[in-house]
């Protein structure tokens, strides 16, 4: 397995299908970078959504909510 395939497999946390062995190294590296970017964007979006939802909670409850959420 190539370095790019190993990196992609680690990124998706799953073994790659056999057909991925036919892809060029550059394509695997590009796919890995795109998946990493998508994971990062999703995490940032979720973080903004969680922090934004705190605005709907009463002020006195926010510290307890932050503690429960680990923020």
How confident is the model over 20-61, as pLDDT tens digits? 989 999 999 999 999 999 999 999 999 999 888 888 889 998
Q: What is the predicted pLDDT for the residue at 50?
A: 87
Q: What is the predicted pLDDT for the residue at 39?
A: 96
Tell me how far apart the alpha carbons of residues 30 and 28 are, in angstroms, rounded to a whole number. 5
Please count the structural domains in the chain.
Answer: 1
Range of 51's domain? 3-69
Beta carbons of 4 and 29 less than 8 angstroms apart: yes
According to DSSP, residue 28 is labeled H
pTM of the model: 0.72
Q: What is the predicted pLDDT for the residue at 16?
A: 92
């Amino acid at each position: 397995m190539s370095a790019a395939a190993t990196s992609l497999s680690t990124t998706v946390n799953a073994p790659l299908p056999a057909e991925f062995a036919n892809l060029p190294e550059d394509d695997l590296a590009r796919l890995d970078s795109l998946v990493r970017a998508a994971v990062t964007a999703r995490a940032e979006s979720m973080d903004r959504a969680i922090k934004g939802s705190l605005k709907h909670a009463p002020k006195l409850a926010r510290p307890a909510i932050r503690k429960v959420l680990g923020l």
